[in-house]
Structure 1
Amino acid sequence: MDFFNKFTLETPESVELDFTLAGIGNRAFALVIDYFCFWLILIIYLLSTFVFSEVISTVLNSFLPNLENVEMWLTAIFFVIFFFIYVGYFVFFETLWQGQTPGKRRVKIRVIRDDGRPVGLQQATLRALLRPVDDILFLGVLLIVFSKQEKRLGDLVAGTLVIQEEKANNLATFLISKEAKGLVNYLIDKSNLSRLSTEHFAVIREYLQRREGMLKQARHELSRKLAYQVKDIIELQEIPENTTANHFLEAVYLAYQQGIENKE
């Protein structure tokens, strides 16, 4: 029951660090936000270029009176500046915000080096320069889906990982609903909680800890999938009517804990 793609790395100081990889969905959503911001910046640039195009043409003609095909030179300059804006957007933010862009910050994911350290200018630049190859040829999507560490080409070359951002206050505790507390006795009577292993319990706990940081649709789909798998594991015939997947998982969490306490 592996819902969170974990990655463990060992630092040069022989300290093991556990990370949860960002996943293709979070990365895609972050990229949509970043492209929206990028195109907004580009539109501003285009408008300013249009306004001052005559001025630029006049300046070029005055300094280079024999220059032919001014429009061709302006087009070339435009594409050069376009490329620098495209690359510079990701390099600027990932370097300044320690591996985050506006999109990544919104989705709560971050780029780090393979050794766990924050990315620097070199890593951010390599990732940005190879982004057109990853995006245009869809190579990045294929590599992320089929790579164990979910790396696109830019990550492979730069030596980076994209992880979910950890927040201690979100992981320390979570609320249990009244509906879930009312289901505990039902689960104890109607299911076989002894079939729930410590690994299964850890996955449920991790979901409950992380759910508030997930996108609504992702949280809905994951909770339903996890709830049905847990239902089969504990041999429960049916989940009570009008019980949400979240309430059911909270109840399983409480019932399992209560079972452990009773054994002790």
Structure 2
Amino acid sequence: MMAPSISRSPASTRQRVIVSPEGVPLHFTLASRGARAAALFIDLAMIVGAMVGATLILAKLADGIGLNITGGGSPAGRAAEAIAVVWIVALFLFRNAWFLFFELGPRGATPGKRICGIRVAARARGAGGGQLTTEAVIARNLVRDIELFLPLLFFITAAVEGEDTDLAALAGLVWFGIFAFFPFFNRDRLRCGDVIAGTWVIEVPRPRLQQALSISEAAGGHSTEAGSGYRFTEAELAVYGEYELQALERVLRDKRAEAIRDVAEAIGRKIGRSSGSGDERAFLEAYYAQLRARLETGMRFGRRKADKHSSDKHSSDKHSSAGPPLPG
């Protein structure tokens, strides 16, 4: 399959356009550096809060049953040591699994990112549903340790130990600064983890299309312009999958007449049907609504079709094959 080409819109430094393999331009907006920083701070605050909460719960548990970590080899001492091990594992999971768990989810976003209205997407497939592989999410988050946690730990440890470690503390601060300012030195606002994993962070578009389609008569398969009804067969709808559905949604949301006409012609050629002149939007809205209904029905029965190149897959298949979630 031909790889999508990427260009930058002169209207804004954060606007990007991805041209899909079908030649359809898809517009989206990169997340601002401020939004990414705010999301990170929110996530870190939640992680610290979870760590403190877990510590208090385990301490209360140990105190309630009279355990003492200094109890030596006694049964009570061994039980206290077991609780201490659980505490260490919990802290490790909070710090490392937080980002992995949420970004591997269907929204591709941690709670902090969701609050700030941004999400992670694969650069190779573009915005609004670029398929994130498990490997990409793991890679970008493993690099976060090198970018953030290790230099801060190095700096704090060196600063606490005294004057003899001033140079080491400075080295840790410089180390942190290099990675912290990395997004300012590339136009796509990528941090090192994004460069390595092939991802970027984009703004989540407001869900205006779902409301428009739900009240649009054309979405039900009838055009008020030409008076024609559009009903598609199972074979015609089976041509496309979730990726194409979201690409079609973006075209409809952007309301660009030329793109709507080109996409209607491309779909018409693919399924052997065509819309009337001037009726392209009704044709696309009807196809979108019926394709979405078909895919959602398949999901309820554990089947998903990632894109036009794949067959329906059971929902227990590998995460990277499942594709992005349906809108709404």
TM-score by length of 2: 0.43
Unpaired runs of 5+ residues, structure 2, are: 1-9, 153-175, 213-253, 255-328
Residues 38 and 89 of structure 1 are in contact (CA less than 8 Å); yes or no, is this contact kept in structure 2?
Answer: yes
Residue of structure 2 in register with 1:118 after alignment: 131
Aligned partners of 2:86 and 2:208: how far apart in 1? 49
1:124 positional shift: 2.2
How do 1:38-187 residues align onto structure 2 when only pairs under 5 Å count?
38-53=47-62, 55=67, 57=69, 61=73, 78-116=87-125, 117-135=130-148, 136=152, 137-167=176-206, 169=208
Residues 4 and 20 of structure 1 are in contact (CA less than 8 Å); yes or no, is this contact kept in structure 2?
Answer: no
Residues 143 and 193 of structure 2 are in contact (CA less than 8 Å); yes or no, is this contact kept in structure 1?
Answer: yes
Change (3 A) 1:83 1:60: farther
Cα RMSD, aligned residues only: 3.7
Residues 11 and 115 of structure 1 are in contact (CA less than 8 Å); yes or no, is this contact kept in structure 2?
Answer: no
Please identify runs of 4+ aligned residues in structure 1 that moved more than 6 A.
73-77
Q: Which amino acid aligns with 2:147?
A: D
Any idea what SS the aligned residue of 2:109 has? coil
Aligned partners of 1:13 and 1:3: how far apart in 2? 25
1:95 positional shift: 1.3
1:57 positional shift: 4.3
Any idea what SS the aligned residue of 1:98 has? coil
Change (3 A) 1:144 1:50: same
Any idea what SS the aligned residue of 1:96 has? coil
Aligned partners of 2:88 and 2:178: how far apart in 1? 23
Q: Which of 45, 56, 60 is the equivalent residue of 1:36?
A: 45
Any idea what SS the aligned residue of 1:22 has? coil
TM-score by length of 1: 0.52
Aligned partners of 2:85 and 2:182: how far apart in 1? 33
Aligned partners of 1:104 and 1:37: how far apart in 2? 12
Structure holding more helix per residue: 1
Residues 10 and 115 of structure 1 are in contact (CA less than 8 Å); yes or no, is this contact kept in structure 2?
Answer: no
Residues 58 and 83 of structure 2 are in contact (CA less than 8 Å); yes or no, is this contact kept in structure 1?
Answer: no
- Identity, % of aligned positions: 27
1:103-139 deviation line (CA, Å, top 9, x unaligned): 1111111100112323243222222222132234134
Aligned partners of 2:135 and 2:114: how far apart in 1? 20
Any idea what SS the aligned residue of 2:190 has? coil
